[in-house]
Amino acid sequence: MKGNYSILAVTALFCAALLTVWGCQDDDSAIVKRNWQLVWEDNFDGPAGQSPDAANWTFDIGVGPGNDGWGNAELQYYTDRPENVSLDGDGNLAIISRRESYSGRPFTSARIKTQGIFEQAYGRFEARIKMPWGPGIWPAFWLLGANIEEVPWPQCGEIDIMEYRGQEPNLIHGSVHGPGYSGGAAVTKSFGFTNDRFDVDFHLFAIEWGPGYIDYFVDDTLYQRITPDDVSGEWVYDHPFFIILNVAVGGNYVGFPTDQTNFPQTMLVDWVRVFRETN
């Protein structure tokens, strides 16, 4: 759906009975009603092979500022080629990781972002995504502090709405990284299916974020709330952040691809939407 519209988001803090959920809320009784106004979206409509809309997205290119795999020992070279990131013609964005020698790296993929184009503090950020699968594949939908050029990571803050390890297709992870709790010490919880996988169909990943809290959702299930009491250092989530979508290959978080990992690997994104609370 195009254009601005309002939705009434009714969020019940409960753990879905049909799912196995790690990190459920302790308070099952609270119900939060918020009025959301759509302020930004991309539905990825267009012909197959078309690059994502330059009015919405720009690219990270290469292997990271330190030539170190973006600080995570990742193996891919990020490009802006349609072979790695383009519309599929069916209303989705495809981010495609390929096994190929490119600029000294054994894999290619893509990482797109709204840096310098769109940023926002607080609100609901959501994306409907179908995952790839395979050991060593690392897709993510996340936010980075818009002040990163002046305030280095992790002081700028990072909100991982969804991270996924390709060798664990029934699990996703939601995290925050800040000063004193970054990398392996991030504040994180996981959400898992017992009889389903994230690479079989699309699922909606979202946060609802306001002063002093970040709530994490998969589809209609809230599975964790992070507040200043949960972090061991400074709370750095009261300023604008921009959006990133990427698929990494290898790295400290997922390890190397194996013989089980077929290429190309594709993450499909149906839409990305951002809302602001109108109350």
pLDDT digits (tens, 9 = 90+) for 171-230: 999 999 999 999 999 999 999 999 999 999 999 999 999 999 999 999 989 999 999 999
Residue-wise pLDDT for 108-152, tens only, equals 999 999 999 999 999 999 999 999 999 999 999 999 999 999 999
Tell me the mean pLDDT in the region 162-178: 98
Confidence of residue 31 (pLDDT cuts 50, 70, 90): low
CB proximity list for 200: less than 8 A, separation 6 or greater: none
Residue burial 233-245, b: 16+ Cβ < 10 Å; e: rest: eebbbeeebbbbb
Judge whether 119 counts as a catalytic residue. no
Which one of 83, 163, 208, 277 is the catalytic residue? Answer: 163
Of 74, 119, 158, 208, which residue is the catalytic one? 158
Asked about 158 being catalytic, the answer comes back as yes
This prediction's pTM: 0.89
CATH architecture of 43-274: Sandwich (2.60)
Long-range Cβ contact pairs of 217-221 (< 8 A, separation 24 or more): 217/11, 217/126, 218/172, 218/191, 220/16, 221/14, 221/15, 221/16, 221/19, 221/21, 221/191
Residue 279 confidence (pLDDT)? 75
Cis peptide bond prior to 65, omega within 30° of 0:
no
